[in-house]
Structures are given as structure tokens and as C-alpha cells.
Amino acid sequence: MRSAIPMGPEPEYEKVVSGYQTFRSDDPFVCEWGGVLPEVDIAYESWGELSAVRDNVVLLHTGLSASSHARSHAQNTHPGWWEEFIGPELAIDTDRFHVICTNLLGGCYGSTGPSSTNPATGKPWATDFPIITVRDMLKAQMLLLDHLGIERLHASVGASLGGMQSLMAAALAPERVGRFVSISAAVCSHPQSIAMRFVQRQAVMADPDWREGHYYGESFPYRGLRVAREIGTLTYRSGPEWMERFGRQRVKDDMPRLDEDFQVESYLAYQGDKFCLQYDPNSYLYISKAMDLFDVAEGEGGSPRDGGAPAVRLVDVRAPALVIGVTSDILFPVWEQRELAKLLEDVGVDVTYLELDSPYGHDTFLIERDSVGEAVRAHLEA
């Protein structure tokens, strides 16, 4: 039995199977790099009252593995992944704002993804699912906003992949975004983060149980996904935190072992095991690839594969921006947020830049309620 893990602040994630609403678009959805989804489902949850003129909406974008369940509510009382940031008098004040959070296109918590049924075959899409991009994710979210009758957002807010989406929203539909927040993200994916995600995908695809993605109804590629999440966890937190939390403490003071010998190793194994019970490996592959393809600096889109749609360019951004970076972030090093802030300023965007010295690395946006929350609150209520 694994020894007790030294306590520390941890994100609140769960496998969400209920408590969300679903919007379905029956129109064919053409993906940026080719492929058509005959129909698209988008799962979403909301908090706070929508104003009579529908001008108080904050669209909250998730990271790679989060669901639409950002905060608890009557239909799902489990704490959400941003539980302490959303609510009355919190960072996103639900006495003032109507908050909407979706499960990403490509996800596995109610939105259309690789585990969804392909209407043409009656079986899960698996790796017949088309390659998707952050732009595709935003197009799907805009379909939901159209359905809800929301023409303009008060703000677009997100961190990590969510920060990419918030920037994409401001560039893709500048007339629909009043302001935006990008935390621990970047203007494009740089080689270091691309390399890290590549190795994680390789771990999943090297598992014999992956079966080229067609594992549904068969044994699950547990070992590969577990290793992928362990690698990911290395990039989510920081060495200084682990030194304070685990040090060089071993699980047992006996003969060294080749597997879980140090407490930090036991922690990584715990995170890998937990994630395997919650997330679909194919969604992990597709969404992480979408992160790799993200590039607003050079203009994402405009490929003949998407019908020649205009490229999404940084110069199109008009909304005031809050950009937050964390000095201990390994996955999105703080120089990437400095770069984003500088490039936005160069095209005339009003930018507020905040740099946090936190030991929690990339996960700081999930943990530091006061520093992150107060900055978000100030930007939304300015």
C-alpha cells in the first residue's frame, strides 16, 4: 500500500458525468485542418444571473484536463476546479457577472470528442476524430454563445490552455470581447512545451493497450496514461515546492527499491493513478496537440484546409488585457508571458502585466486565490 502523501495544496478535479447542460449544433462543423463533425455537443455550466441586456457574461476557458465544473452548484455539489475564485464577492463576482464555462471540443466531459459516438458508424470516433485546434475550440464556444443570445462578452478569462483560448477569443472575434485575462499562457507554443507534450503522447501511444486509439470496450491504456500524467505533473509544480514538501524523504527506511522509493516518487505515482480514473487518453492526445499548434503571433488559421478562413492575428486584438506570469512556471516559463505582454503592447493593446513569485509553478493559478484572484477581480471590475 502506498504511504501517505505529505499534505500540500492540490487542484480540485473530478470526473464529471452529470450536472451540466448540453448544447447541440446539428450543422456540420468543419475543422481547421480538415475533417467534418456532422454534429457537435458542447457541455457547459453557469453561475450568476444573466443581465437583462446580456452584457455581463464572463466566458471562463479551461486547461487541458478540466471539465465545465468550475464551481459547485445545486446540480453538482462537488467543489469545482476554480471553486474559491467564482462566487459572491470573489474574484469573478457572481453578484455582478454571469459566468459560463464549457468542456472543450475534443474533451470527455460531455462535449464532442474522440470517445463520442460517430453517427456514421455508431462507434466511438477514437482516432478517426479530426485534428482540432484552439481556433476550433473557440468556434464551438461561439456557437454556444450564439445559441444563448450572447453577442458580446464582458470578459474572456483563462489560464494555461485557457489562457490561449482567451487570447484566441480576443483575436478571433474582437468585436465580441470586452476584455480578457491570460494566465500562465503564451502567444504561441514554444519548442520546450511542444517537446514535453510530445513525450507524454508517446507514452500513451506506446502502451500496447492503446490499439491505435481503438481501445473502447477493451482493456484501457492505463500504464501509458499514468506515465504521461506523471511527466505532466513534473511540469505543473516546481522544485522549490517539492524540496519543502518532500525533501529527500523516502517512503520506508529500508532497502532502496527501483519503483516508489522516495516520497516525491510516490506523489507522482498517486497523481498518475488518480488521473487514469478520470480522463480519456485520446482526449489527452488531441487536446495536447491543439496546444502545440497554437500560434497567434504568426497568425493561426488561413489554411486551405479550412476553406481559406482569414488567419487569426495578434494585431486584431483590441480588448484590454491582463497577463499574469509565474516565476517558477516550468511548462510556460515567465518569459513567455513577458513576450505576450510586449507583443500586445506593440500592437496598441492596453496591457496590465503581473508577475508572481510563487512556489507552485504552473498550478499557481489554481492555488493562489489572493494574488491571482485580486488581479482578476480588478481587471474585470475596472
Q: Where do we find the cell 519548442? A: 191
Among residues 184, 362, 363, 379, the one annotated as catalytic is 362
Specify whether the CB–CB gap between 46 and 150 falls below 8 A. Answer: no
Hey, is 305 helix, strand or coil? helix
Query: Between the CA of residue 20 and those of 141, 146, 266, what are the distances in Å?
Result: 15, 18, 34
Handedness of CA 22, 28, 30, 31 (dihedral sign): positive
AA identity, residue 21: Q
d(CA 127, CA 199): 18
AA identity, residue 113: G
Q: Where do we find the cell 501517505? A: 4
Grid cell of 178 as nine digits: 470586452
Element (H, E) at 57: strand 57-61
Among residues 280, 295, 306, 329, the one annotated as catalytic is 329
Specify whether the CB–CB gap between 323 and 351 falls below 8 A. Answer: yes
Contacts of 204 (CB under 8 A, 6+ apart): 210, 221, 224, 225, 228, 281, 284, 285
Residue 50's nearest CA partner among 3, 9, 11, 100 is 100
Specify whether the CB–CB gap between 210 and 281 falls below 8 A. Answer: yes
Contacts of 254 (CB under 8 A, 6+ apart): none
In angstroms, the first-to-last Cα distance of the chain is 52
d(CA 232, CA 224): 12
Give yes or no: 362 in active site: yes
Among residues 68, 160, 166, 266, the one annotated as catalytic is 160
Residues labelled as active-site residues: 160, 329, 362
